[in-house]
């Protein structure tokens, strides 16, 4: 990990960037657990498909926005975050991350290597590993996605944050489509720079698109508030990929 890590604080927010001015993570000082960036909120759309994941793995920590959100709002989840940069991990107090505990741990390791021999299976794997130049190459290979699929439980989902509308993104989509046999959706973030790909068991997508309102009502108030903006984009993506009738 050679990217320079920068922390920027103003009166309302604290953000993290790597080498460039591109913001990787953002925290609101008055509410550290809130998901500020739309791409992180969109990634939580996986909770529409599986609202109570018991074991969650994150590849890439950044400022820990999603880790904090899940720790607070999915109290039954056991959380593991794998981050390659110790310098990023050392900023955990600056971004108000909870300490390691029986249900939360942050591991300094290469995410691609970690997935070769994961310690268990997971109900949700969130891949958000970026360098200062974009998504880490090792986290978008066909082999990496195959390792992720093997590490998913029967109801497990993979959610990957990739850059929108690039040759790399289109190639990533093809790889995921093959590995998950077409059981995936793609949702553009509201900021426009991120494409959120969710892949997993086909029946979870079919059940959600067949009765989206029931799945929506099953979410708690915090998740509904988080997904309020992204929910229509997620529903449209589900209907495109898994049309009813």
For the annotated catalytic residues, the residue numbers are 128
- The Cα-based distances of 121 to 65, 106, 190, 210 in angstroms read 23, 17, 31, 28
- The Cα-based distances of 205 to 87, 133, 188, 201, 227 in angstroms read 38, 32, 18, 7, 17
Non-local CB neighbours of 213 within 8 Å, separated by 6+ positions: none
- The Cα-based distances of 241 to 7, 57, 183, 187, 209 in angstroms read 39, 25, 8, 11, 9
CA distance 168 to 166: 5
- The Cα-based distances of 126 to 7, 13, 73, 152, 221 in angstroms read 23, 24, 16, 11, 22
Supply angle C-alpha 225, 134, 174, rounded to 5.
80
């Amino acid at each position: 990990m050679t990217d320079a890590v920068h922390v920027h604080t103003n009166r309302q927010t604290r953000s993290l960037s790597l080498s460039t001015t591109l913001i990787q993570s953002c925290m609101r000082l008055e509410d550290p657990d809130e998901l500020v960036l739309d791409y992180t909120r969109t990634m939580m759309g996986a909770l529409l498909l599986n609202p109570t994941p018991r074991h969650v793995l994150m590849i890439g920590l950044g400022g820990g926005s999603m880790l904090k959100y899940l720790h607070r709002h999915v109290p039954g989840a056991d959380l593991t975050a794998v981050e390659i940069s110790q310098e990023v991990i050392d900023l955990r107090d600056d971004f108000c991350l909870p300490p390691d505990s029986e249900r939360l741990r942050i591991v300094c390791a290469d995410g691609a290597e970690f997935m070769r021999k994961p310690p268990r299976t997971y109900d949700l794997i969130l891949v958000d590993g970026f360098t200062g130049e974009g998504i880490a190459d090792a986290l978008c290979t066909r082999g990496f996605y195959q390792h992720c699929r093997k590490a998913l439980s029967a109801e497990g989902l993979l959610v990957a944050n990739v850059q929108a509308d690039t040759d790399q993104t289109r190639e990533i989509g093809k790889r995921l489509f093959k590995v998950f046999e077409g059981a995936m959706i793609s949702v553009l973030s509201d900021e426009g720079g991120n494409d959120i790909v969710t892949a997993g068991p086909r029946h979870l997508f079919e059940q959600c698109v067949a009765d989206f309102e029931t799945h929506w009502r099953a979410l708690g108030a915090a998740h509904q508030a988080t997904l309020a903006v992204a929910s229509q984009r997620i529903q449209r993506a589900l209907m495109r990929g898994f049309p009813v009738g």
